Amino acid sequence: MIVNFYERYQPKAQLGFMEDALLADSLSTDGKYTDLLKEHFKQSHGMEDLLFTPSATSALELAVQLLGLTPGDEVLIPSFTFPSAANAVMKCGGTPVLCDVDLKTKNISLEDASSKITERTKAIIPTHYAGISCNMDQLMTLAEEHHLAVIEDAAQAVHSLYHDKPLGTIGDFGAYSFHHTKNFSCGEGGAFLCKDPSCMDQGEIIRDNGTNKAQFYKQKLSGYSWQCAGSNYMMSGACAALLYAQLLDYEVITAKRKGVSETYHEILTVSAQQLDGKVSLMEVPGYSTPNYHIYYINCKDFETREALRNGLLADGIDARTHFVPLHLSDFGRTMGYSAMDLPNCFSVYETLLRLPIHTEMSRTDCEMVTDFLVKRVREIK
């Protein structure tokens, strides 16, 4: 590859922090680096507390468990997303109800979601695709009208804003991912956020195999025991140290990604005539300040997308499609959905193409990507 799809940002501080975590902090969960991470989110997000987990998936499972679903309860989820939220709902005995997305943002269509609300609907789990916010005012109003809990799947949206509010902090619960492909990574990692601080104690219990060990460690109890169903959703001190090194540089990381995104946008806007209506550009709504997790283009149809993807691959540019919508997946089809039930998801699945974006890309790299893209567009009859 001439331009890789993704490369990890290597912060200067990481090896020192790792050594310190290994030698001084004995890799314990909720040690020194967890405290520093909590301080980071307090400063940047004004958050009193959050829990670090091994993944966004486990944070979503934790949040869904707190909803106390009973069999037959329904949860609205966009079909164009990763399976984590749907799996979490099914694990807790609920039924995921798959919704269409807006063509413009690729986020859950509130029109489709509201048409699917029944007396069994308990929650909605919106994804902020590409780190671009859902319209949270409209979403929260819909949720309030129907008494739905809101769990933000903010896996891609760490340090993205809706107006001036950090994503993940607006709904009742939020989930972040620090998976190695995300903007800030520690290999595998995540965080669980909740708006109501009184849920935090229960979250800590579920996260630690259903025990009140956290209370014991805080010397509020003389011992600990099993309180409820739970799991091991703890992040190791090694991951916390790696993640803290990344988050210390979050402004550098975001600025570099923003540079790539803006360079693409600027060049492709100037090249609009050559793109000849075969490709249109990503749009960011005015209420959203993204973290530039993804830069995608919309192709005219499936054939155009595949011609560009294969052409770019041959040129050494790793451009990629994204999610197979859940309702189109092998498993989704067994749940009774057919492809055209959610037409916008189908269209996004067929036509979206993600361009490389990471902190190690120079302006020349960006120009190489756009030059090849324009060349490949012009080859299409």
Ligand X SMILES: *Cc1c(COP(=O)(O)O)cnc(C)c1O
Nearer to ligand X, 57 or 254 (CB): 57
Assigned token pair, 330: 């092998």
Residue 26 DSSP one-character state: T
Q: Per CB under 6 A, does 135 bind ligand X?
A: no
Contact 37, 29 (CB under 8 A): no
Measured distance CA(251)–CA(255) in Å, rounded: 6
Nearer to ligand X, 155 or 214 (CB): 155
Q: Per CB under 6 A, does 133 bind ligand X?
A: no
Of 76-84, 118-126, 196-204, 252-260, which segment contacts ligand X by CB under 6 A?
Answer: 76-84
Q: How far is the CB of 127 from ligand X (least distance, A)?
A: 4
Q: Tell me which H or E stretch contains 280.
A: strand 279-281
Strands (E), 106-182: 121-124, 149-153, 161-162, 165-166, 173-177
Nearer to ligand X, 33 or 178 (CB): 178
- The pattern of x and - marking residues 82 through 111 that bind ligand X according to CB under 6 A reads x-x---------------------------
Q: Which residue type, as a one-letter code, is found at position 336?
A: G
Helix (H, G, I), strand (E, B) or coil at 263: helix
Q: How far is the CB of 83 from ligand X (least distance, A)?
A: 8
Q: Per CB under 6 A, does 80 bind ligand X?
A: no
Q: What sign for the dihedral angle of Cα 125, 128, 133, 134?
A: negative
Nearer to ligand X, 129 or 337 (CB): 129
Q: What is the CB neighbour count within 10 angstroms for residue 342? A: 26
Angle (CA) 125-119-196 rounded to 5° is 45
Query: Judged by CB under 6 A, which of 62, 89, 130, 155 binds ligand X?
Result: 155
Q: How far is the CB of 225 from ligand X (least distance, A)?
A: 29
Strands (E), the chain: 51-53, 74-78, 95-99, 121-124, 149-153, 161-162, 165-166, 173-177, 190-194, 279-281, 288-289, 295-299, 352-355
Contact 45, 166 (CB under 8 A): yes
- The pattern of x and - marking residues 36 through 75 that bind ligand X according to CB under 6 A reads -------------------xxx------------------
Nearer to ligand X, 213 or 354 (CB): 354
Q: What sign for the dihedral angle of Cα 74, 75, 78, 81?
A: negative
Assigned token pair, 55: 């993944």
Q: Which of residues 159-218 bind ligand X (CB under 6 A)?
A: 177, 179, 190
Q: How far is the CB of 129 from ligand X (least distance, A)?
A: 7
Contact 230, 210 (CB under 8 A): yes
Nearer to ligand X, 234 or 373 (CB): 234
Q: Which of residues 252-291 bind ligand X (CB under 6 A)?
A: none
Assigned token pair, 56: 């966004």
Of 99-107, 138-146, 150-158, 206-214, which segment contacts ligand X by CB under 6 A?
Answer: 150-158
Measured distance CA(126)–CA(148) in Å, rounded: 12
Query: 20-49 burial, b for 16+ CB within 10 Å, e for fewer?
Result: ebeeebeeebbbbbbebbbebbeeebebee
Query: Judged by CB under 6 A, which of 153, 204, 208, 249 binds ligand X?
Result: 153
Nearer to ligand X, 244 or 372 (CB): 244
Q: Per CB under 6 A, does 152 bind ligand X?
A: no
Nearer to ligand X, 126 or 237 (CB): 126
Total residues at the site for ligand X (CB under 6 A)? 13
Of 78-86, 212-220, 238-246, 334-342, which segment contacts ligand X by CB under 6 A?
Answer: 78-86
Nearer to ligand X, 45 or 182 (CB): 182
Residues that bind ligand X (CB under 6 A): 55-57, 81-82, 84, 127, 153, 155-156, 177, 179, 190
